[in-house]
Amino acid sequence: MTHRWDFSEIGESARLCADLLSPSGKSSPRPKVNQVRTVARPAPALAKLATLTRPATIPGPTMLLGNTRQDRLQASLTAMCERGGFLGAVVADASGLCLAAVTPPIAEEQLAAFSSMLGEAMVHAGNLFTSGMANNLSLDINYTDKLAVRRFLFGGVPFCLVVLCPQTCDERAEVELSVDELQRILAP
Amino acid sequence: MATIIAIASHKGGVGKTTTALNLGYGLTRLGAKVLLVDGDPQGGLANASNLKRRTQAGLVQLLTNDRRANEMVTYTRDQRMAVIGAGVVTTDDVLQFEELALAGQLAISIRELAHDFDYVLIDAPAGIGGVVRGLLLACDSVIVTLNPRPLAVKSLPSFLKLIKSMADSDNPGLRLEGVLVTMMNAKSQVDASVFAQLQAQLPGAAMFATHIPFNEAFEVASLHATPVALLPAAALAARPYLDLALELKARELKAQAEESADDSSLGLF
């Protein structure tokens, strides 16, 4: 048995929806898939890695002294970048306040705020998928470079360490060492 | 300040309360802090969440007894989700609730409550009457729930006209979040035909890609006064509402990205 329904209300609804969604309307469009944004940018980290050598004078953890805690954080990040061949790094707290930054590729405040947002995204990912903590995020930002984000807690307060490095770089060990060091510096 | 979303429709029994409760739970799984507001004097959400076992007080008492807002909000075991009832106990309360809604007092209170949350989901009563108009005054957007049945579809234009009328006059910030198809029975020829017509005719942005299939687990969940995801072995039933929460977040992020898009930008670095 076939039915012939009157769908005129759907047509009327469609016109009303189109009206509500018109440019002056404010509804957000349904996300489109396969929408790729092309970014024609050089990949500076890989080029820098090729020229890097490991000088004997790079300070180790015990050499990281300074008058203020910020000096020591800065020195620790600088040493980490030099040891690991990272292009830049930033450490920020959960609110996006930049504690220290080394050659940030964009304004350090922007990178710190972005780090804090990524840190929060990791918490959400942890809640959603594992009911636990997700503390590491690796984000390819072009064909050759990546951002590696390491979220860590100190005194129950979340912080984020973000490094920019080539995708071929195995940054984990260097980052873990630096997190230990950062926690020691942050300790009162 | 939270995003305030009404779950509403002209027709009753189309899954508004179920959507408010389960979408709210889905958003908490994404880390958001969610307040569920029972805007229906019948107290559907208060029943569905078992709030009435904890307190009968709600919005009416908040507005009439000069009570502090945080005293009236009841947190669930998961501290990321809280519920406030309508507070309608007597027939006088119903009249008072309607008067407060029409006077805009309800909207002011809901906006004040929203400060402590990421999302406020309002379970609106069925219809296009004064209470619904009063609740829509407080809202940023509306999710219209719809069964893919001819009678439900017939009521859709009148509700969309209400949203348009509110957006044109009393609440210029109000927008249609989307039409959500609920209780979809894929085996029914009627449901399939109506759903196909909705997909074919409604603009893509006006309809959620996620739809909620009919599942008896929702009935079981309402017996237990719990989101369906908390039932053992109800993962299949719970999945669409988690998908809906993700779709809502994706729409929100996309809208934010579009607002902040700078055509001259060449990317992050």
* A145-154 and A157-166 strand pairing: antiparallel
- What is the per-residue pLDDT across A26-55, written as a single tens digit (0 to 9) for each? 444 433 333 333 333 445 555 555 555 444
Q: At B204, is the pLDDT very low, low, confident or very high (cuts 50, 70, 90)? A: confident
Contact A101, A89 (CB under 8 A): yes
The ipTM of this complex is 0.84
The alpha carbon of residue B261 and the mean position of all alpha carbons in its chain are separated, in whole angstroms, by 29
pTM of the model: 0.63
Angstrom CA distances, A13 to A70, B56, B140, B142, B193, stand at 60, 38, 20, 15, 16
Contacts of B177 in chain A (CB under 8 A): 27-28
Average pLDDT over residues B105-134: 91
| Residue of chain A whose Cα is closest to the Cα of B26 | A128
Round to whole Å and give the CA distance between A76 and A182: 7
The nearest CA of chain B is from the CA of A128 a distance in Å of 6
Q: Taking the CB of residue B204, how many other CB atoms lie within 10 A of it?
A: 13
- What is the per-residue pLDDT across B178-200, written as a single tens digit (0 to 9) for each? 999 999 998 899 999 999 999 99
Q: Tokens at residue B196, please?
A: 């196909």
CB contact under 8 A, B177 and A27: yes
Angstrom CA distances, B114 to B5, B75, B212, stand at 11, 14, 27
Q: Is B36 exposed, middle or buried (0-12, 13-18, 19+ CB in 10 A)?
A: buried
Round to whole Å and give the CA distance between A165 and A43: 10
Cβ-based interface (< 8 Å): residues of A facing B? 3, 5, 7, 9-14, 16-21, 25-31, 37, 39-41, 105-106, 114, 120, 123-124, 127-128, 141-142, 145, 164
CB contact under 8 A, B251 and A31: yes
Q: Does residue A167 register a pLDDT over 90? A: no
pLDDT at B178: 94
Q: How is residue B238 annotated by DSSP?
A: H
The nearest CA of chain A is from the CA of B81 a distance in Å of 14
> Where do the DSSP E strands lie in B12-93?
34-38, 74-75, 81-84
- What is the per-residue pLDDT across B221-247, written as a single tens digit (0 to 9) for each? 888 888 888 887 777 888 899 999 999
- Across chain A, what does the average pLDDT equal? 76
Lowest mean pLDDT among A38-52, B46-60, B254-268: A38-52
Q: Does residue A25 register a pLDDT over 60? A: no
- Across chain B, what does the average pLDDT equal? 87
Average pLDDT over residues B65-90: 82
